[in-house]
Structure 1
Amino acid sequence: MSELDLALVHALQIRPRAAWSDLAPLLGVTAVTLARRWERLTREGLAWLSVVPGPAFTRTRCTAFVLVGCAPAERERLAARVAGLTEAVTVELTAPGSADLLLDVLAPTPAALHRFVTERLALLPGVTGVECLFATSLYADGTRWRLGSLDAAQLSALDPAGSRERDGGAAPSLDALDRALLDLLARDGRLGLAELAQLTGTSAATVRRRLHRLTASDMARFRCDLSPALSALPVAVTFRGRAPARDVNGLHRTLGTLPECRLVAAVTGTANVLATYWMRDLGAVQHRETAMGARLPSLEITDRIVGVRTVKRMGHLLDAAGRRTGTCPIRPW
């Protein structure tokens, strides 16, 4: 991949729906060139952009991480079947150990999530066990991860104030139009206002107002994802850890600031911290754990779950090389 491809993806991680004409001067090419580059990246499954739940979702709905055990011969077949379930927004095959699959599961209520796990997931052929970890706080996720391909001047121009967390206020109630817009944008987050208006039978002005309300309240965020072919970080490892309750809220200030960090969450269970990192090789896993232990002496790592292949990421289906091949849109709202 070219340096321009990497810079384009990084720019869209910061400003996902920016006009090509706004990004062109910062990247030193024409708007037409950027449009063509993005079309090629999406066509080849190397990068994609979609809407995902924001912080308000975590506060008002339910997020969980589910570890699934299965018979060895059933791993691939089961992963493909689970990937077809809309509640399982991310599905990862893991190295044999404490689990065979690691899922991110979203639902409107804890009761709905419990029903999904016990009445649907656990009863699938080949499943030998499930462990459900409810997220009580989500400190970092994939919307905040950055590729690191832009220089300081470009970053300052794209995000002059610097990305900051904000209190989105009360979560809005959603109606049929909101859900229709979210469903379309879960497939393609760069659909234009006019196209969204046509597909939903409303006006572009109404679409603009609805999207502003959904994003300003942090019910939804836009996220640019990419294949490992672009990130050059093929190893995903999820650490489970245990820390005193008094320390958990402060751990994310260290865990989440590391550049490889994709996820930091406080979860239910005796191992009450979950953190996922993308790394260049397996040797980096030990180095990261050693550094975490030195900086966070109260954190005890209890398990290391190494991902061997992502089958589905936030509703997008991936092949063995990590390229997007299709979409099973998430509908947790």
Structure 2
Amino acid sequence: MYDMDTLDDDDLDLVAALQYAPRAPLSLLAEVLGVSASTAGRRLTRLESDRLLRVIGQQAWSVSGEGNPWHVWVTAEPGRAAEVARRLADLPEASHVAVTAGQADVYCTVQPSRRDRTRDLLTRTIPATPGVRAARSELVLSSATKSDSWRLPRLDPDQLRRLTEHAAQDEAVSSPGRHGTLTDDELRTLRLLAADGRMTAAQVSRELGIGQSTAYRTTQSLLQRGLVRPRVEIEPGLLGYALEVVIPLTVSPSAMRDVALALARHPSARYVSTTAGTSCVVHHGVFRDEDGLTEFLTRDLADLPGVTSFDVSVVLDALRRHWLDREDGRLAAHDKPENGGA
């Protein structure tokens, strides 16, 4: 298992810079961080080769499957939580799987590639998984924030300004909505960006055998339509956030939207969603220690009007995030095929 000695301050600065501008060239990253481009390149290469970090392209829900994802909380037979989690991580529909303590033994999110697969997945496949005693699922209605928006607070205002100015050219200019029919070039480019969020138009051009101007237009179109969003994939524990939790909240209907938006602005927020179920809002957050979680539960949540109750599941071991498998906290050497149409 990894520990905090794995990354030094310069590594953490590089991670923080990439979170703000995942597609920034090494020259800009180096200039902002005050190091040489070769030093920045060596550090990034080491983090990638050690399977600690990867810049991917996070696909819009309309690309990764039909319909929105589902939260699933699983109660396992005694002593079988890890086994159940491994079996669920083998499902192509599972984007996130973790062994947890608290409200559930295993927490996962799933998104079927086809809507007609949902019923069997939720009522037969998951409940019939060996070791599963019970499962509860809730449909995600919308997200107030996703994990690509979480940032490591290390950089000064000038560094942030320069990075965000560069990142603005790749930001979505509208909600992705439904993507409709993608062209062959768009589909192939989407697959490349999903695997490597830093891939340039020149690299796309070479990989696909298309003109560089076509590759550039296609890449920018996918990014600006919000169909793929570059993001840094790295375990929160490596960044000093040793405590990760999933908190389903029961909220009065009139307060759902306000509560979700307020939680999305909290520094701990990695993924906040509204759901159709008992848990009106689900907060997936990271904290440096138990004191930070205590402050959040007893003050921040307590001060939110409309919150009537909540449960807490503490993440003990993440086996999969955004369809990327983990091995003892590191990215798996070989990933399973991604779900959905990209």
Matching residue of 1:180: 188
User: Which of 71, 83, 92 lines up with 1:86 in the alignment?
Assistant: 92
Structure-1-length-normalised TM-score: 0.90
Note if contact 2:246-2:313 (Cα within 8 Å) is conserved in structure 1: yes
Task: Report the identity percentage.
Answer: 27
Q: How many residues align?
A: 331
SS at match of 1:79: helix
Structure 2 counterpart of 1:275, which letter?
H
Whole-angstrom distance in 1 between the partners of 2:324 and 2:144: 23
Matching residue of 2:35: 29
Structure 1 counterpart of 2:111, which letter?
L
Alignment of 1:1-333 (within 5 A): 1-54=7-60, 61-95=67-101, 97-108=102-113, 110-160=115-165, 166-168=173-175, 171-172=178-179, 173-320=181-328, 322-326=329-333, 327-333=335-341
Whole-angstrom distance in 1 between the partners of 2:302 and 2:173: 31
Structure 2 counterpart of 1:10, which letter?
A
- The structural deviation recorded for 1:20 is 0.8
Change (3 A) 1:141 1:202: same
Change (3 A) 1:187 1:169: closer
1:268-313 per-position Cα deviation (integer Å, ceiling 9, x unaligned): 1122110011012234322211123332031123311111111111
Change (3 A) 1:249 1:59: farther
Whole-angstrom distance in 1 between the partners of 2:165 and 2:110: 34
Change (3 A) 1:228 1:250: closer
SS at match of 1:202: coil
Gaps of 5+ in 2: 1-6
Gaps of 5+ in 1: none
Structure 2 counterpart of 1:314, which letter?
H
Change (3 A) 1:179 1:243: same
Change (3 A) 1:169 1:239: closer
Change (3 A) 1:59 1:125: closer
SS at match of 1:171: coil
Change (3 A) 1:156 1:132: same
Note if contact 1:293-1:300 (Cα within 8 Å) is conserved in structure 2: no
- The structural deviation recorded for 1:229 is 4.5
Note if contact 2:98-2:107 (Cα within 8 Å) is conserved in structure 1: yes
- The structural deviation recorded for 1:22 is 2.1
Whole-angstrom distance in 1 between the partners of 2:296 and 2:339: 35
- The structural deviation recorded for 1:241 is 0.9
SS at match of 1:275: strand
Note if contact 1:94-1:306 (Cα within 8 Å) is conserved in structure 2: yes
Whole-angstrom distance in 2 between the partners of 1:59 and 1:121: 18
Note if contact 1:55-1:218 (Cα within 8 Å) is conserved in structure 2: no
SS at match of 1:295: coil
Note if contact 2:54-2:233 (Cα within 8 Å) is conserved in structure 1: yes
Note if contact 1:46-1:229 (Cα within 8 Å) is conserved in structure 2: no
- The structural deviation recorded for 1:260 is 1.1
Bigger Cα displacement from structure 2, 150-159 vs 206-215: 206-215
Note if contact 2:95-2:322 (Cα within 8 Å) is conserved in structure 1: yes
1:236-260 per-position Cα deviation (integer Å, ceiling 9, x unaligned): 1111111121211111332111111
Note if contact 1:240-1:303 (Cα within 8 Å) is conserved in structure 2: yes
Structure 1 counterpart of 2:118, which letter?
L
Structure 1 counterpart of 2:194, which letter?
A
Structure 2 counterpart of 1:147, which letter?
L
Structure 2 counterpart of 1:171, which letter?
R
1:26-80 per-position Cα deviation (integer Å, ceiling 9, x unaligned): 1111222111110001111221111112376699731111112222333222222
Structure 1 counterpart of 2:53, which letter?
A
Matching residue of 2:3: none
- The structural deviation recorded for 1:110 is 4.3
Whole-angstrom distance in 2 between the partners of 1:66 and 1:57: 21
1:111-158 per-position Cα deviation (integer Å, ceiling 9, x unaligned): 333332234323322222221111111101101000112111100111
Note if contact 1:156-1:162 (Cα within 8 Å) is conserved in structure 2: no
Note if contact 2:141-2:273 (Cα within 8 Å) is conserved in structure 1: yes
Structure-2-length-normalised TM-score: 0.87
